Amino acid sequence: MIDIKFLRENPDAVKENIKKKFQDEKLPLVDEVIELDAQLRKAQQRGDSLRADRNRISKEIGGFMAKGQKDEAEKAKAQVKAFSDELAALEKQEEELAEKVKKIMMTIPNIIDPSVPIGKDDSENVEIKRYGEPVVPDFEIPYHSEIMEKLNGIDLDSARKVAGNGFYYLMGDVARLHSAVLAYARDFMIDRGFTYCIPPFMIRSNVVTGVMSFAEMDAMMYKIEGEDLYLIGTSEHSMIGKFIDTIIDESTLPRTLTSYSPCFRKEKGAHGIEERGVYRIHQFEKQEMIVVCKPEESAMWFDKLWKNTVDLFRSMDIPVRTIECCSGDLADLKVKSYDVEAWSPRQKKYFEVGSCSNLGDAQARRLKIRVKGEDGKNYFAHTLNNTVVAPPRMLIAFLENNLNADGSVNIPEVLRPYMGGKSKIGG
DSSP 170-231: E-HHHHHHHHHHHHHHHHHHHHTTPEEE---SEE-HHHHHHHS-HHHHHHHPEEPTTSS-EE
* Of 293, 309, 312, residue with least CA distance to 301: 293
Residues with Cβ < 8 Å from 99, sequence gap 6 or more?
A: none
E-assigned strands of 217-348? 222-223, 230-231, 246-249, 255-264, 283-293, 320-324, 336-344
88 in a structural domain: yes
* CATH (domain of 84): 1.10.287.40
Alpha helices for 67-122 (secondary structure H) = 70-105
56 and 131 belong to one structural domain? no
- Burial of residue 323, with CB atoms counted within 10 A of its CB: 0-12 exposed, 13-18 middle, 19 or more buried: buried
Q: Are 17 and 111 in contact (CB under 8 A)?
A: yes
115 in a structural domain: no
Question: pLDDT digit of tens for each residue in the chain (427 aa)?
Answer: 899 999 999 999 999 999 999 999 999 999 999 999 999 999 999 999 998 989 899 888 888 888 888 888 888 889 889 988 999 999 999 999 999 999 999 999 999 999 999 999 999 999 999 999 999 999 999 999 999 999 999 999 999 999 998 899 999 999 999 999 999 999 999 999 999 999 999 999 999 999 987 777 878 899 999 999 999 999 999 999 999 999 999 999 999 999 999 999 997 654 554 557 888 899 999 999 999 999 999 999 999 999 999 999 999 999 999 999 999 999 999 999 999 999 999 999 999 999 999 999 999 999 999 999 999 999 999 999 999 999 888 999 999 999 999 999 999 999 999 999 999 999 7
Q: How far apart are CA 378 and CA 392, in angstroms?
A: 42
Cα separations (Å) of 245 from 5, 27, 257? 21, 31, 18
110 in a structural domain: no
79 in a structural domain: yes
* CATH (domain of 416): 3.30.930.10
Domain end among 105, 138, 164: 105
- Is residue 200 reached through a cis peptide bond, with omega within 30 degrees of 0 on the bond before it? no
Using alpha carbons only, what angle is made at residue 415 by residues 413 and 417, rounded to the nearest 5 degrees? 90
* Of 314, 265, 313, 257, residue with least CA distance to 288: 257
Cα separations (Å) of 405 from 153, 176, 400, 401? 18, 22, 11, 12
201 and 334 belong to one structural domain? yes
Total residue length of the chain: 427
114 in a structural domain: no
Q: How far apart are CA 354 and CA 189, in angstroms?
A: 15
272 and 376 belong to one structural domain? yes
Domain end among 43, 75, 105: 105
222 and 305 belong to one structural domain? yes
116 in a structural domain: no
Q: How far apart are CA 189 and CA 394, in angstroms?
A: 17
70 and 181 belong to one structural domain? no
Q: What is the model's pLDDT at position 404?
A: 96
145 and 101 belong to one structural domain? no
Question: From the CB of residue 12, how many other CB atoms can be counted at a distance below 10 Å?
Answer: 8
331 and 418 belong to one structural domain? yes
96 and 126 belong to one structural domain? no
Domain end among 52, 77, 105: 105
Q: What is the model's pLDDT at position 397?
A: 95
Q: What is the model's pLDDT at position 271?
A: 52
153 and 241 belong to one structural domain? yes
Provide the domain count of the chain. Answer: 2
Q: What is the model's pLDDT at position 210?
A: 92
Q: What is the model's pLDDT at position 270?
A: 44
Q: Are 366 and 149 in contact (CB under 8 A)?
A: no
- Region for 68 from its dihedrals, namely left if φ exceeds 0, alpha if ψ lies in -120 to 50, beta otherwise: left
9 and 156 belong to one structural domain? no
- Burial of residue 35, with CB atoms counted within 10 A of its CB: 0-12 exposed, 13-18 middle, 19 or more buried: exposed
Q: How far apart are CA 355 and CA 215, in angstroms?
A: 18
195 and 75 belong to one structural domain? no
Cα separations (Å) of 85 from 47, 95, 115, 128? 11, 16, 53, 62
* Residue-range definition of the domain harbouring residue 365: 122-425
Point out which residues pair with 385 in neighbouring strands.
290, 357
406 in a structural domain: yes
pTM for the complete prediction? 0.90
216 and 339 belong to one structural domain? yes
* Of 153, 119, 150, 378, residue with least CA distance to 248: 378
112 in a structural domain: no
Q: Are 233 and 265 in contact (CB under 8 A)?
A: yes
